[in-house]
Amino acid sequence: MITAPESPAVIETNPFPHWFQREQAAALADYESTPAPTRRDEAWRFASLKALDLSAFVPAPEIASEGKLINASTGLGDFAARFVFGNNALVHHEAPALPEGVIVEPLDVAAYEHEALFRAYFMAQPVELGSHKYARLHKAMLTGGVLVHVPKNVEVALPIELFYWVEGENSSVFPHTLIVLGDNAKVTVIDHFKSADGARAFACGINDFHLGRGSQLTYAAVQDWSRDTLAFHLNSTLVGRDATATALLANFGGGYVRGESLSKLAHDGGRSVMLSMNLADGTREIDQHTLQDHAAKHASSDLLYQNVVDDAARTIFAGIIRVQEGESQTDAYQRVRNLLLTDDAIAVSMPGLEILNDDVRCTHGATSGGLDPDELFYMQARGISKKLAARLIVAGRFNSLVERIDNEALRDRLRAVIADRLGV
């Protein structure tokens, strides 16, 4: 089992300041005393709880093939900054095009050099969609991760690209991307989660996004862990007044993947676009929980999840739109589309609404079904084989999400990732 900093003593190899190490020790204690999820927990109703057994996982060793990983960490042609982590350790970083004042630093450095920022924003938002226990573990075990801070009125033209690698049998990694945007700041960030080998691993990642007034964040994550990896990806986005967050989460890998995405519209006029493309094949289980939390007026949220379920895989989608009392002029939209490709595929949809104000426009929908035979026929009538037609249709569904990303370089990159993954 994973061993953590022995509480309450401070460990010299831990790169964080002592005050944070004490918080880590408390987090570990909290992790240990929090019961594991059970079938009776609504947030875990359909999850394969057996997959949550962490007993085999160990702290990740130093990576063996640093050069190889760095060479494989290529994506965008031009970028503002690129950071590469291997087994939690920063192995490479470059920042060729960062505007002045923009901070992109490893969290352990940020905890010293930008302590105020770190204290104010690091995991400030509670994890409330079921994985509190694992969020505590994440905090306790944290060594890597990045702080991106874009100050007021600054726009980072090129995307920032982050790679998180895991290597070795039963290695545990704890990726963390913390993005803090000042008023009217603008940035585009892409996270890559990848396995250096086919080994089973444990990944427990957190993303914290804080958007100042009028700021704009475009974020994409491409999760491509090895086939047996147990992965948690817990995202929280706090949208400021008149700010816009657009996030596209792609899940292409992993064994059991638990995703939680919270968008909190805490200030008037905020907007959050939550997109996800999920390719469940083999025996993969992708278990996603979302909350569009409207705690302000004139705010809008728009969620679209495209799930493709192949082989004996399954997807679970549980989403809630919550409009709090008094939060008028809310516009919220939530949709999950499940495309099932085999007789053994399973898709569970739980699109929920909790509406405590009448002045709203809220709709949600969930559809599940196989490929449209007429669509297939049309493509076959052009000479395209059934197999290829199916892959094209899947790529099409994913690409239609990519279209909603407001950054051409990122769109191209994501299209390439999709084409590569689907062989089209």
Partner 1 sequence: MSLSIQNLTANIGDLPILKGITLEVPKGEVHAIMGKNGSGKSTLAKIMAGHPDYTVTGGDVLMDGRSLFEIAGPDERARAGLFLAFQYPMEIPGVTIANFIRAAIQSRLAEGEELEATDYYANLYAKMDALKIPRAFTSRSVNEGFSGGEKKRCEILQMAMLEPKYAVLDETDSGLDIDALKIVSEGVNALRSPDRGFLVITHYQRLLDYIVPDRVHVMVDGRIAMSGDKNLALELEARGYDWVTETAAEPALA
Partner 2 sequence: MSAILEPTAKPQIDIDRSVGDFRYDVDYSYDAGVGLNEATIDYICDVKKDPAWIREFRKDAYRKFLEKPMPTHWASHDLDNIVFENIRYYLSQGTQASRTWDDVPEEMKRTFERLGIPEQERKYLAGVEAQFDSEAAYSNIKAAVGEQGVIFVGSTEGLQKHPEIFRKWFGKVIPTGDNKFSALNSAVFSGGSFIYVPPGVKVKHPLQAYFRINAQNFGQFERTLIIADEGAEVMYMEGCTAPKFETATLHSAVVELVALKGAKIQYVTVQNWSANVFNLVTKRGLAHEEAEIKWIDCNIGSRLTMKYPSVVMKGRKARGEVISIALANDGQHQDTGAKMIHAADETTSNVVSKSISIGSGQATYRGLVDIPPHHRGCRNNTECDALLINTHSRTDTYPTIITRGNRNACQHEASVSKVSAEQIFYMQQRGLNQGQAMSLAVNGFVNDLVREFPMEYSVELKRLIDLEMEGSVG
> Shortest Cβ distance from residue 298 to partner 1 (Å)?
28
Residue choice 211, 296, 336, 395 for contact with partner 1 (CB under 8 A): 395
> Shortest Cβ distance from residue 310 to partner 1 (Å)?
17
396 binds partner 1 (CB under 8 A): yes
Residue choice 38, 374, 408, 423 for contact with partner 1 (CB under 8 A): 374
203 binds partner 2 (CB under 8 A): no
347 binds partner 2 (CB under 8 A): yes
Residue choice 398, 409, 410, 421 for contact with partner 1 (CB under 8 A): 398
10 binds partner 1 (CB under 8 A): no
Residue choice 74, 342, 367, 380 for contact with partner 1 (CB under 8 A): 380
67 binds partner 1 (CB under 8 A): no
> Shortest Cβ distance from residue 345 to partner 2 (Å)?
6
17 binds partner 2 (CB under 8 A): no
345 binds partner 2 (CB under 8 A): yes
Residue choice 49, 51, 72, 346 for contact with partner 2 (CB under 8 A): 346
386 binds partner 1 (CB under 8 A): yes
Q: Whole-angstrom Cα distance, residue 357 to residue 167?
A: 49
373 binds partner 1 (CB under 8 A): yes
371 binds partner 1 (CB under 8 A): no
382 binds partner 1 (CB under 8 A): yes
From the list partner 1, partner 2, none, pick the one residue 362 interacts with, judged by a Cβ distance below 5 to 8 Å according to partner type.
partner 2
Burial class (CB in 10 A: 0-12, 13-18, 19+), 55: exposed
- Give the type of residue at 131: S
From the list partner 1, partner 2, none, pick the one residue 378 interacts with, judged by a Cβ distance below 5 to 8 Å according to partner type.
partner 1
